[in-house]
A and B are shown apart, each in its own frame.
Chain A
Amino acid sequence: MCAPGLLALTELQFPAETTAVREGLARLMASPCLQGLGAEDRGTAEVVLAEALNNVVEHAYARWSGDVLVTLRREPTQVEVRITDHGLPMPQASPPQGALPEIGAFDDLPEGGFGWFLIRSLARELTYRRQGERNELTFAIPVDNWEA
């Protein structure tokens, strides 16, 4: 455990594959950086991290497989996240705008395209850089309250 304001850093690397992501996510949620989050913030953190990691699995490693590295840094009002991988670069060298898929006729209801919308709705300070063969996505998860 780390008291509010005290620096906490978590670094975790795992294969970018759905089952490993589920396990990695569970370990991240149990890490000192996230375990003290209030219930609401915890849910937000898990959704944002899951969406960002699922994107790495589905898109960055669409042609080959590899690892993803997640670094969390706990700050007083947010958790800063850095996710790096060695997959394909993002199209147009920037993260998708993540518009909410339109809700139209019943048969055309969207079954996907929610991921970036959720990330952009719930996270802030989103940045993306391609460095050599590496993708680096950073963002911050706002924290309303830390549990005592």
Chain B
Amino acid sequence: MNLTTEHKGDILLITVMDDRIDAASAIQFKEQMRDITSAPSARVVLDMSNVGFLDSSGLGAVVAVMKALGPVRRLELSGLTTTVEKVFRLTRMDTVFVIHKSLPEGLKAAG
């Protein structure tokens, strides 16, 4: 699992470079996210615009990461692709995440 990290002001921006988060990579994703987010930041934004596919294991991993961060330092998601958005919408998980259509202002030139 290839994740890149960037600090932008009070935001920790994590970009998933892999094109999928699935049963084969979910555990690795969770572990790497735990390590990366141990660095302090007010906000954590996960850019998923490269992720074309997410299964229920991948979804569970993203939920687990959000729970580990807690209700205050809420995990924010950005750039859900069509199939990923569909999985979030069907399972109603779109209602529990802060989801940005594209990277929040101030992060757009990142990367």
Contacts and interface: CB of A to CB of B under 8 A. Distances in A.
Contacts of A54: 23, 55-57
Contacts, number: 77
A18 B67 CA distance: 25
Contacts of B82: 39-40, 43
Interface stretch (B3-11, B40-48, B86-94, B102-110): B86-94
A53 to B, nearest CB: 9
Contact of B87 (A100, A109, A110, A118): A118
Interface in A31-65: 39-40, 43-44, 46-47, 50-51, 54, 57-58
B63 A111 contact: yes
A114 B23 contact: no
Contacts of B90: 117-118, 121-122
Interface range on chain A: under 10, 10 to 19, 20 to 34, or 35 or more?
Answer: 20 to 34
A114 B60 contact: yes
A109 B64 CA distance: 8
Interface range on chain B (Cβ under 8 Å from partner) = 20 to 34
Given A47-B83, A57-B23, A103 B92 contact: yes
Nearest to B86: A43
A111 B67 contact: yes
B95 interface: yes
B53 A114 contact: no
A51 B67 contact: no
Interface of A: 18-19, 21-22, 39-40, 43-44, 46-47, 50-51, 54, 57-58, 100-101, 103, 106-107, 109-112, 114-115, 117-118, 121-122
